[in-house]
Structure 1
Amino acid sequence: MNTQRTFLLNLYLRGVQMRRITLKDIADALGLSVSTVSRALSGKGRISRQTIELVERKARELGYIPNTIAKGLKTRKTNTIGVIIPDITNPIFPGYARGILDAALKQGYQVFILNFDMSKAKEKDAINSLLSSQVEGLILTSTKLSRQELLELRKRGVPFVVVRKDVRLPGTSFVNVDNIYGGYIATKHLLEIGKKKIAFIGSRFSGEPARKRLKGYLKALKERGIDIREDIIVEAESSFDGGYRAIQKIFDRVDGVFAYNDVMAIGVLVFARERGIKLPEELAVIGFDDIPVSSLPIVNLTTIKQPMYEMGQQAFITLMKLMNDEENVFKIWLKPELVIRGTA
């Protein structure tokens, strides 16, 4: 019985099809040493072209997958990064993730994405899990970590970039959207189309994005000399139901609404249509984010487009610079833009 048939029989008898193919399996199949197979696949050492092609062909046949993490333990380079996001079901986060993934692919990097459900404890667990997998850097999206906790993370020696948070911390890089400007241009547009009783329906005013969008809203009203009415500034849950319930309380006092995000704005639209309120004549509505559903004809929501894909790409590019030992700190602000559709 020849070497290959013997190897295949042993492979079957050992049930090796249920485990990962190793360098030893390739070596046994070809009657070569493990070191020869290793050198052939790594391109290191003096190996003939014929042997390299033979080993590569057999590796493909057997379904060999290189263990990049094990390799990284030796070289200290795994070509992997970790991305931590708060809620994968939130329609804005796939945009960030896709931007990161596309930019990483161009540089030959793999991306591990973990979800932390807006829980600081889960976020810390996710960070530890990724660092134990030897990732070269981290992208933290909407992090819940405090200044002190971010400082402690820096001491662990792994580069990281924060997305969607203005981190006032020396030596820490971030990528963010200009939320003040976004709130300003949304409210300014409502004023320009003749609305004067404009509500702001926000989420968690203690959080940075809502606080800054509110600041932009107030700035636009003050520029026009319009009195600030606290009774139409409403804090609500960041959800469809949150927007729906908020407008229920104030619909008879307003002719325009700037909602914290598109999901809340859609809740406002549904309530208005159920009540027979004409859009945008009797009530104009603007959201924030420009999630995919907002452009559907049945929704047709005027909104502030957040450059999520571009932010993801910039986050990866910034992380690459940090991983390449650039000592600069990068604070990147991207401008949102008004997308006019049928609701305002």
Structure 2
Amino acid sequence: MATIKDVARIAGVSVASVSRVLNNGPKVSKKTIENVLKAMKDLNYTPNANARALVTQRSTTIGVVIPDLVDPFFASLANGVEQVARQNNMQLLLSTGLVSAESEMQAINLLIERRCDVMVVHSKKLSDEALIALAKKTSGLVLIDRYIEEIAERCVWLDNLEGGKIAARHLLSLNHKSFACISSKHQIDDPLLRLQGFQHELKLVGADIAPDLIEYGPPTLQGGEIATQKLLASGKSFSALFVYNDAMAIGAISTLEDNGFKVPSDISVLGFDDVLLSRYSRPKLSTLNYPIEKMAIQATNIALELSTKNTVIDDRKNYKHIPRIIKRESTSFKSG
């Protein structure tokens, strides 16, 4: 395997000159750069990332913390980060937080130990104080799907409260008057805010959701199926169902159809996230678009800028995103 000394010998320069070329150092002639790059190509030489990190005191890795590897929503998040990593010739190091404060801290510490000074963190369980302290230690740490006022310049987030309101307005515009809701059992802000926004908008027109028409479950296909079974077991009728995420919504549709209900002619179902699966369910799922991949790209670029310049970005208003309705086939006008 070729070494940096081999590259220097073939290029006819010093090892220090090769190092400066590899690390974009100053005062390197064009001829030297050409000779070094040609020698690297001829020798099939690949720089050692860890060694470069020791020399430059900078990592060539972008870290990302997500709750799990299964949910397609988080796969989209990771994909957004990876796109930026590839554009900057960096590697992606992924760690999972498992919706647990202890696991989230372990995941972040793992990235820090691996010399990641650029990281995008999806944290729902760590306290604001803990994340503020971590941000002070890590210049390139940016939060996604979380807003903390004290470090607002490091937060790329979705307005879940407004998302719930938009969902309610969509179903109300379709003349629905009786509603049910399926939410996530995870004690985090997102499901609480979506439900709060939904109920707020209903109350403005004198509508509401009966307590026994709100069910909770794991944010999975099976979680949606079981929660829907409980709704049907209540014996109360409803014409519109607002669901925490697309996976649960697709599970809900399956259960409704299995029990003789037609979607959307009998019951309209509205999801949240707009993951790829929502376009291929039957019927195709109406949902709210959560631009997580776009947000991940933005968050990663901010993290890179903060890590290289160690400066605060002032234009905070662009970091808040608003979901939008994607009308497909699972919601329709309710006559009568």
TM-score by length of 2: 0.85
What are the residue-to-residue correspondences of 1:241-256 with 2, within 5 Å? 241-251=222-232, 252-253=235-236, 254-256=238-240
Partner secondary structure for residue 114 of structure 1: strand
**What is residue 180 of structure 2 aligned with on the other side?**
199
**What is residue 311 of structure 2 aligned with on the other side?**
326
2:155 paired residue among 155, 174, 198: 174
Unaligned runs of 5+ in 2: 332-336
1:275 paired residue among 256, 259, 265: 259
Q: Distance in 2 between matches of 1:152 and 1:59?
A: 42
1:159 paired residue among 129, 140, 164: 140
Q: Distance in 2 between matches of 1:130 and 1:32?
A: 36
2:212 paired residue among 214, 231, 235: 231
2:165 paired residue among 158, 167, 184: 184
What are the residue-to-residue correspondences of 1:1-344 with 2, within 5 Å? 17=1, 21-27=2-8, 34-35=15-16, 37-38=18-19, 49=31, 53-107=34-88, 109-170=90-151, 173-204=154-185, 206-251=187-232, 252-253=235-236, 254-296=238-280, 298-323=282-307, 324-328=309-313, 330=316, 332-344=319-331
Do the aligned partners of residues 236 and 76 (structure 1) sit closer, same or farther apart at CA in structure 2, a change above 3 Å counting? same
1:184–1:219 contact (8 Å) kept in structure 2: yes
Q: What's the CA shift for 1:72?
A: 3.1
Q: Distance in 1 between matches of 2:304 and 2:96?
A: 22
Q: Distance in 1 between matches of 2:103 and 2:186?
A: 23
Q: Distance in 1 between matches of 2:34 and 2:305?
A: 36
Q: What's the CA shift for 1:54?
A: 4.8
Partner secondary structure for residue 93 of structure 2: strand
Do the aligned partners of residues 269 and 41 (structure 1) sit closer, same or farther apart at CA in structure 2, a change above 3 Å counting? closer
Partner secondary structure for residue 202 of structure 1: strand
Equivalent position amino acid for 2:329 in 1: G
2:224–2:251 contact (8 Å) kept in structure 1: yes
Partner secondary structure for residue 276 of structure 1: coil
Q: What's the CA shift for 1:133?
A: 2.7
Q: Distance in 1 between matches of 2:30 and 2:311?
A: 39
1:99–1:310 contact (8 Å) kept in structure 2: yes
Partner secondary structure for residue 161 of structure 1: strand
Do the aligned partners of residues 106 and 29 (structure 1) sit closer, same or farther apart at CA in structure 2, a change above 3 Å counting? closer
Equivalent position amino acid for 1:111 in 2: L
Q: Deviations over 1:152-201 (max 9, x none)?
A: 31342433111112324456621111111211121222222222221110
Identical amino acids, percent of aligned pairs: 33
**Higher alpha-carbon deviation: 211-220 or 233-242:** 233-242
Q: What's the CA shift for 1:216?
A: 1.2
Unaligned runs of 5+ in 1: 1-16
Q: What's the CA shift for 1:48?
A: 8.5
**Higher alpha-carbon deviation: 193-202 or 105-114:** 105-114
Equivalent position amino acid for 2:264 in 1: P
2:239–2:267 contact (8 Å) kept in structure 1: yes
**Higher alpha-carbon deviation: 145-154 or 38-47:** 38-47
Equivalent position amino acid for 1:197 in 2: S
Aligned residues: 324
Q: Distance in 1 between matches of 2:91 and 2:186?
A: 36
1:257–1:285 contact (8 Å) kept in structure 2: yes
1:140–1:161 contact (8 Å) kept in structure 2: yes
For the aligned residues, what is the CA RMSD?
Answer: 2.8
Q: Distance in 1 between matches of 2:59 and 2:205?
A: 55
Do the aligned partners of residues 135 and 227 (structure 1) sit closer, same or farther apart at CA in structure 2, a change above 3 Å counting? closer
Q: Distance in 1 between matches of 2:266 and 2:250?
A: 16
Equivalent position amino acid for 2:310 in 1: D
Q: Deviations over 1:85-108 (max 9, x none)?
A: 111211101222222233444455
TM-score by length of 1: 0.83
1:181–1:213 contact (8 Å) kept in structure 2: yes
Q: Distance in 1 between matches of 2:183 and 2:230?
A: 14
Partner secondary structure for residue 271 of structure 2: strand
Partner secondary structure for residue 288 of structure 1: coil
1:242–1:267 contact (8 Å) kept in structure 2: yes
Q: Distance in 1 between matches of 2:28 and 2:136?
A: 42
